[in-house]
Amino acid sequence: MKGLVRLLTVFSLLLGCWGWLGTTQTAQAWDFSHVNLPQTPILAIARQNKADQKLATDFGKKIDLNNTNIARFQGIRGFYPVLAKKIIANAPYAKVEDVLEIEGLSNRQKKLLQNNLSQFTVTTYDAEFNEGDDRINNGIYR
């Protein structure tokens, strides 16, 4: 009797798992070409958030003194981390030249700033780029 129960159990397991044994049926998509569905116009809206809009301006090409992260200053020799930290700490600026009026700058630092003014821009302060401590440490490491 035990042998018969074991045989039936094995047989039912094999029958139940038939799909796993390689005899699966291929899926077939239904052809909608013969059905006339009404055309519904779709309104396409190009959506951009404020950060993406700003990145499309000079902000994305130059270093924005009011909004850029400290890591962007690594590309300019002599700025990172000391001078970059001073620039960020004294923001916001009304115009690029205002960066030359930071108190406590050495003559070398003023000369560095003067020589690199063309790499900077100033835009309005945006919370998207300045919330928390993101300008000093945004969590992106190389």
Q: Is the pLDDT of residue 120 over 90?
A: yes
User: Residue 53 domain-assigned?
Assistant: no
User: Residue 119 domain-assigned?
Assistant: yes
Q: Which two tokens stand for residue 53?
A: 């809009």
Range of the domain at 83: 58-129
State mean pLDDT over 72-101.
Answer: 92
User: Residue 90 domain-assigned?
Assistant: yes
Q: Which two tokens stand for residue 68?
A: 């850029």
User: Residue 79 domain-assigned?
Assistant: yes
Paired strand residues for 120: 63
User: Residue 72 domain-assigned?
Assistant: yes
Classify burial at 126, counting beta carbons within 10 Å of its beta carbon; exposed 0-12, middle 13-18, buried 19 or more: middle
CATH number at residue 110: 1.10.150.320
Q: Compute the mean pLDDT over every residue in the chain, rounded to the nearest whole number.
A: 80
Query: What tens digit of pLDDT does each residue of 96-117 get?
Result: 999 999 999 999 999 999 999 9
